[in-house]
A and B are shown apart, each in its own frame.
Chain A
Amino acid sequence: DTGVSQDPRHKITKRGQNVTFRCDPISEHNRLYWYRQTLGQGPEFLTYFQNEAQLEKSRLLSDRFSAERPKGSFSTLEIQRTEQGDSAMYLCASSLVSRQAFFGQGTRLTVV
């Protein structure tokens, strides 16, 4: 499968714990995006990378959220000190510059 891959698919964590999600984009894509989707809403943009550079991060939801793309390939999204309000689907997408974005299946986070 050469699509966007996200791991894990599901994560249940206790409030206050840290979680990290991984995204493997389509191999030749230089842009990678993270979105959050809560129940009954459309995806909400969080951040994006062009190669290894994080070009927009002002829309990350709080300073508990951070993302990396160390070698311009896979990316990780970390949430520190999780709260119940962080429960959502976290979507990753990748694209070539100015081309259509391809989405992964998402990581569903449940904070209990």
Chain B
Amino acid sequence: AQTVTQSQPEMSVQEAETVTLSCTYDTSESDYYLFWYKQPPSRQMILVIRQEAYKQQNATENRFSVNFQKAAKSFSLKISDSQLGDAAMYFCAYREGYALNFGKGTSLLVTP
């Protein structure tokens, strides 16, 4: 079974600063998708960014970007110019076929 590891249970960043959340995964496949989801307290999970494994270029979405290292099976999320509204649980997920396999999440605290 594929596994997703998020080694940082909690991270803290000051408003306007940059933070990087780590994720590693295990797979023997060459074609798959990777995602970062955000889950604010008591609110639904929303997609932050996705990366197709066959694409070498790192995905970016406004202040969010990834560092995808396929050989190292690493998929980190960088949040630039952090805002108070970025505070949430962040989950890294791997998809091969139909099911998403999630890590345990990283709780991001944003301080003023």
Contact = CB atoms under 8 A, between A and B. Distances in A.
Interface string B37-64: 1000011111100100000000000000
Contacts of A60: none
A105 B47 contact: no
Nearest to A55: B98
Interface in A21-58: 31, 33, 35, 40-45, 48, 55-56
Interface stretch (A65-73, A74-82, A96-104): A96-104
A35 B4 CA distance: 16
B102 A43 contact: yes
Contact of B104 (A4, A40, A56, A100): A40
Contacts of B37: 103
Contacts of A42: 4, 91, 93, 102-105
B100 interface: yes
Contact of A103 (B46, B104, B105): B46
Interface residues of B, number: 20
Interface residues of A, number: 23
9 interchain residue pairs of minimum CB distance: A42-B102, A45-B99, A103-B45, A105-B44, A42-B91, A103-B44, A43-B102, A100-B47, A42-B103
27 contacts: A3-B44, A31-B98, A33-B99, A33-B100, A35-B100, A40-B104, A40-B105, A41-B105, A42-B4, A42-B91, A42-B102, A42-B103, A42-B104, A43-B91, A43-B100, A45-B100, A48-B98, A55-B98, A91-B45, A100-B50, A101-B47, A101-B100, A102-B47, A103-B44, A103-B45, A105-B44, A106-B44
